[in-house]
Amino acid sequence: MATTAPRDKYNGVWLVFFMLGLGTLLPWNFFMTAGMYFTSRLKDPSLASLAANETERGGDTRSVLEAKFNNVMTLCAMVPLLMFTCLNSFLHTLIPQKLRVAGSLLIIMLVFMVTAILVKVDMEPLPFFTVTMVKIVIINSFGAILQGSLFGMAGLLPASYTTPIMSGQGLAGTFAAFAMICALASGSAMQDAAFGYFITACVVISMSILSYVALPKLEFYQYFQDSNANKRNNEEDNTLDLMKKENTGDDGPSDHNAKQNVSMVTIFKKIWVLAVSVCFCFTVTIGTFPAITADAKSTIANGGAWEVYFIPVSCFLLFNLCDWAGRSLTAVCMWPGKDSKLLPLSILARLLFVPLLMLCNIQPRYNLPVYFQHDAWFIVFMILFAFSNGYLASLCMCFGPKNVLPHEAETAGAIMAFFLSLGLALGASLSFLTRALV
C-alpha cells in the first residue's frame, strides 16, 4: 500500500459526500418548506365565514390542526431523529454500512413518491394531518441513520471532508426553498405545484443513491477505508497478543491495551465541550425556526406579491442560503480553533436571537409587543441567525472527530451526530414554549 494518500481526483469524494449531505436533510427541508401546501389542506371550511371579520380584528382564523402544524411537525421530525441517531451510535458496528446508507435513501425516496401521489388524492384534514406526521417520522428516522453513518464515514477521512456534508445539508434547505418559490412563480394551482415539487425531491434523492454507489470505486476513498481496516486488524492482533501474554503472566503492555480498547464514555470525555456546543446551537435554532419565524408577517406588502413571497424568501430561502454560506466557509476558515473558549461562548451568545425574533411582527401574538416592526429588522436578524448557526455548528462537527485518536474517529463522529440530533429534539420541544410566549 502507498505510504501517502492518493489525490482526490476531480474532487470526486468531496462531491459524493456533498451529494450525500444534500440527501440527508433534503427530505426534512422539503416537508418544512412545503408548509403552505400542507396547511392549505388542513383548513376548516366552517371557519371560512369568520375569516374576514377575524382578520380585520387581528384574530386567529386557523383551525387547530393548521395552527399547530409547525410545532407538531418539528416534534415529529426531531424526536425520531434523536432516537434513531442514538441507536445508530450503538449499532453502527453491527449493521453493514451499505444497508444503513443505501437502505435509508431508498425508503426516504419511497416516502416522497407516496407524498407526490397523495397530492392528487382528496382527504379529510385529520387523516391528512395524521398521514403527513407518520411520513415525517419515517423520513427523519431513516434520515438519522443516514446522517450518523455519514459523519462516521467522514471521520475516517481528513477533517476537511466533514465540510461537504455540512455544506450539502445547508444546500438542502436552499434547494427546497428555491424549488418552492419556483413552484409559486409558475402560476400553477397549488396542487400541481406541490406535485412537481415532491417529484423534484425524488430525482435529487435518486442522484444521492447513485453517488453512494460510485463512492467505493474512488481510489481516494478506498485508501482510507483500507487504512482503517488495517488499523483495526492490528488492534485485534495486539489484543490477542496481550491476552496470550496475560495468560503467561506478562502484564507489561497493559497500558497499550487500554489505549486501543477505549469506551464510548472515554471518547465522549475528549469531545464533550464540542458535543454540548453543537447541541445548544441547534436547540436555539430549532426552538425558533420555523415555529416562530414561519409566522412572521410583512408590514410593507399591503396585499401585493411580496406578501405571497415574504415567508418563502425572507424565512426559508434566506435562512438556508446564509446557513449554507456559514457551513461552506469552514472549508477555507476554521476560526476559532478547536480548543478555544471563544467557540462555545459564541454559541452561547446566539441565545440572544430568540427574543429578537420573538419581538418581530409574528402573527398571531398574545403576550409580547411588536418591537421590530419593519421587514428589514426581521431580514437582518435572520441573516445573522442563520449564518452563525451554519458556521459555528460546522466548526464543532469538523473538530469533534479530530480531537480523538484515529481509530476512535468513527465513534466520535457518531457521538457528535447524536448530540446534533439531541439539540434538534430539544429545540423542537422548546418551540412550543417560545411560540406560546409570543
Say whether pLDDT at 273 is over 90. yes
| CB neighbour list of residue 161: distance below 8 Å, 6 or more residues apart | 13, 14, 17, 154
Residue 230 lies in a domain: no
Contact predicate 299/361, CB 8 Å: yes
Give the pLDDT score at 234. Answer: 60
Residue 243 has pLDDT above 50, yes or no: yes
Q: How far apart are CA 11 and CA 220, in angstroms?
A: 9
Asked if residue 274 belongs to a domain, the reply is yes
pLDDT of residue 32: 82
Cis peptide before 80 (omega within 30 of 0): no
* CATH number of domain containing 82: 1.20.1250.20
Average pLDDT value over all residues in the chain:
83
Task: Please state, in angstroms and as integers, the Cα–Cα distance from residue 20 to each residue in 91, 282, 319, following that order.
Answer: 21, 21, 21
In a domain, residue 225? The reply is no
Q: Would residue 348 count as lying in a domain?
A: yes
Instruction: Give the CA angle between residues 318, 322, 328 to the nearest 5°.
Output: 145
Digit-coded pLDDT (tens) for 377-436:
999 999 999 999 999 999 998 888 888 887 787 778 878 888 988 898 899 889 889 999
pLDDT tier at 259 (50, 70, 90 boundaries)? very low
Check: CB of residue 281 under 8 Å from CB of residue 396: yes
Higher pLDDT, 55 or 102: 102
Cβ(13)–Cβ(157) below 8 Å: yes
Residue 109 in grid coordinates: 425516496
| Residue 324: predicted pLDDT | 86
| Cα–Cα dist 179/367, whole Å | 35
Cβ pair 416, 397 in contact under 8 A: yes
- Greatest distance between any 2 Cα atoms in the chain: 89
Residue 133 scores a pLDDT above 90: yes
The percentage of the chain sitting over the pLDDT mark of 90, rounded to a whole number, equals 32
Residue 222 lies in a domain: no
User: Among 400, 392, 399, which Cα is nearest to 418's?
Assistant: 400
Q: How many CB atoms lie within 10 A of CB 113?
A: 15
Measured between alpha carbons, how far is 189 from 415 in angstroms, rounded to an integer? 44
Question: Residue 264, Cα to own-chain centre: how many angstroms?
Answer: 23
In angstroms, the CA 435 to CA 62 distance is 15
Q: Return d(Cα 159, Cα 106) in angstroms, integer.
A: 28
DSSP per-residue codes, 285-302 = HHTTTTTTGGGB--SS-T
Tell me: pLDDT of 253 over 60.
no
Indicate whether 76 belongs to any domain: yes
pLDDT value, residue 49: 52
Whether residue 155 has pLDDT greater than 90: no
Identify whether the C-beta of residue 218 lies closer than 8 Å to the C-beta of residue 6: no
In the structure, what pLDDT confidence band is assigned to residue 246 with cuts at 50, 70 and 90? low
Q: How many domains does the chain have?
A: 1
- Cβ–Cβ contacts within 10 Å for residue 355, how many? 13
At 256, the pLDDT band (50, 70, 90 cuts) reads very low
Question: Residue 161: inside a domain, yes or no?
Answer: yes
Residue-wise pLDDT for 50-92, tens only, equals 544 554 444 556 778 888 888 888 888 888 888 887 787 677 6
Mean pLDDT for the stretch of residues 262-272: 84
Range of the domain at 161: 12-47+57-215+259-437
Is the predicted pLDDT of residue 237 greater than 60, yes or no?
A: no
Q: What is the pLDDT of residue 320?
A: 87
Residues 361-376: pLDDT tens digits?
Answer: 998 888 999 999 999 9
Neighbours of 334 (CB within 10 A): 17
pLDDT tens digits, one per residue of 328-357: 888 888 888 878 899 999 999 999 999 999
pLDDT score of 9 = 84
> Cα separation of 96 and 94, whole Å?
7
> Rounded to two decimals, what is the model's pTM?
0.73
**Tell me, what's the pLDDT at 154?**
82
Length of the chain, please? 438
Q: Grid cell 450539502 — which residue?
A: 168
pLDDT the model gives residue 165: 85
Let me know if residue 253 belongs to a domain.
no
